[in-house]
Amino acid sequence: MTKTLLATLAAVLLAIFAPSVLADPIVIKFAHVVTDDTPKGRGALLFQKLVEERLAGKVKVEVYPNSSLVGDANELEALRTGKVQMLAPSVSKLNALSKPLQVYDLPYLFDSLEAVKRFQHRDKSRELLGSLVTHGFTGLAYWNNGGRQLSATRDIRSPADLKGLTVRVESSDVLAAYYQLLGAQPVKMPFAQVYEALRTGKVQGAENPWSNLLGQKINTVQPYIVEDNHSFLTYMLITNTSFWNSLPFELRSELEAILDEVTQVVNRDAEAINAKARERVVAANTSKILVQTPAEREVWRAAVAPLIKRYESEVGSDVLRAAEAANRR
Ligand code: LMR
Q: What is the pLDDT of residues 257-299, one digit of tens each?
A: 999 999 999 999 999 999 999 999 999 999 999 999 999 999 9
The answer to whether the beta carbons of residues 110 and 308 sit under 8 Å apart is: no
Distance of CA 3 from the midpoint of ligand 1 (Å): 65
CA of 92, closest atom in ligand 1: 5
Distance of CA 90 from the midpoint of ligand 1 (Å): 6
| 224-227, strands of its sheet edge to edge | 185-188, 166-169, 205-208, 149-152, 224-227, 288-291
What digits encode the pLDDT tens for the residues 72-121? Answer: 999 999 999 999 999 999 999 999 999 999 999 999 999 999 999 999 99
Pocket of ligand 1 (CB under 6 A): 33-34, 90, 145, 170, 191, 208, 212, 233
Q: What is d(CA 266, CA 260) in angstroms, rounded to the nearest whole number?
A: 10
The residue whose CA is least distant from atom 9 of ligand 1 is 34
pLDDT score of 177 more than 60:
yes
Mean of the per-residue pLDDT values of the chain? 95
Distance of CA 120 from the midpoint of ligand 1 (Å): 19
Q: What is d(CA 5, CA 19) in angstroms, rounded to the nearest whole number?
A: 22
The residue whose CA is least distant from atom 2 of ligand 1 is 191
Pairing status of strand 185-188 against strand 166-169: parallel
The predicted structure's pLDDT at residue 19: 47
The predicted structure's pLDDT at residue 3: 60
The predicted structure's pLDDT at residue 11: 53
Residue 26 main-chain phi, psi, to 5 deg: -70, 130
pLDDT over 70, % of the chain: 93
Distance of CA 72 from the midpoint of ligand 1 (Å): 8
Distance of CA 191 from the midpoint of ligand 1 (Å): 6
CA of 207, closest atom in ligand 1: 3
CA of 38, closest atom in ligand 1: 9
Distance of CA 62 from the midpoint of ligand 1 (Å): 20
The predicted structure's pLDDT at residue 231: 98
The predicted structure's pLDDT at residue 169: 98
Pairing status of strand 149-152 against strand 224-227: antiparallel
CA of 72, closest atom in ligand 1: 2
What digits encode the pLDDT tens for the residues 294-314? Answer: 999 999 999 999 999 999 999
The predicted structure's pLDDT at residue 16: 53
CA of 89, closest atom in ligand 1: 8
Residue in 221, 190, 207, 195 with CA at minimum distance from that of residue 33: 190
Distance of CA 33 from the midpoint of ligand 1 (Å): 7
